[in-house]
């Protein structure tokens, strides 16, 4: 009987610790692709942030926060056309970094043009970003993505 109680208590402690150990996340990523011709397509990578949270632009100077960046896996089915584009963000002086930084709130869509060498392909890669609010920043996070282009 005592063993059952101890085992039950250990299970409850383990469940409680597991709940607190979950990774804090305030950004959800979604993906899409659209063919604009037989030989060109655009890949869309969308970040949706919780209220009060933001992610940084791809264009952050050295010494600032971790910028959002994309790494695309090489493929024989397509080539990248330029670099990912982004809309105009919010630029503000942040005391913590002693510099102006550009960031996005609510949501942002990054776009990457590709030149197709095959009728169908999948664009794979990873992105890295850092999310902050007015009181703290979370550690930079990497996310793998796989976007079918049909």
In the prediction, which pLDDT does 10 show? 34
Q: How confident is the model at residue 24 (pLDDT cuts 50, 70, 90)?
A: confident
Q: How confident is the model at residue 1 (pLDDT cuts 50, 70, 90)?
A: low
**For 54-100, what is each residue's pLDDT tens digit?**
999 999 999 999 999 999 999 999 999 999 999 999 999 988 889 99
In the prediction, which pLDDT does 7 show? 37
Q: Is the pLDDT of residue 12 over 90?
A: no
Measured CA to CA, the distance from residue 129 to residue 149 in angstroms comes to: 24
Q: How confident is the model at residue 18 (pLDDT cuts 50, 70, 90)?
A: very low
Which run of H or E residues covers position 18? helix 2-20
User: pTM for the whole thing?
Assistant: 0.84
Total H helices, total E strands in the chain: 1, 11
In the prediction, which pLDDT does 143 show? 97
Which run of H or E residues covers position 7? helix 2-20
Which run of H or E residues covers position 16? helix 2-20
Pick the CATH number of 25-149 from 1.10.150.20, 1.20.120.450, 2.60.40.1250, 3.40.50.880: 2.60.40.1250
Beta bridge partners of 60: none
Nearest CA among 45, 40, 49, 51 for reference residue 79: 40
């Amino acid at each position: 009987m005592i063993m059952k109680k101890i085992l039950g208590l250990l299970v409850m402690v383990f469940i409680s610790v597991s709940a607190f150990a979950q990774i804090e996340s305030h950004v959800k990523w979604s993906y899409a692709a659209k063919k604009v011709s037989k030989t060109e397509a655009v890949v869309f990578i969308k970040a949706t942030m919780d209220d009060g949270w933001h992610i940084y632009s791809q264009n952050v100077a050295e010494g600032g926060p971790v910028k959002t960046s994309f790494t695309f896996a090489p493929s024989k089915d397509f080539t990248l056309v330029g670099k990912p584009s982004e809309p105009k963000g919010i630029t503000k002086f942040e005391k913590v970094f002693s510099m102006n930084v550009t960031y996005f709130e609510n949501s942002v869509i990054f776009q990457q043009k590709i030149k197709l060498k095959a009728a169908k392909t999948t664009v794979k890669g990873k992105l890295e970003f850092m999310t902050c609010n007015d009181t703290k920043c979370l550690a930079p996070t990497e996310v793998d993505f796989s976007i079918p282009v049909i």
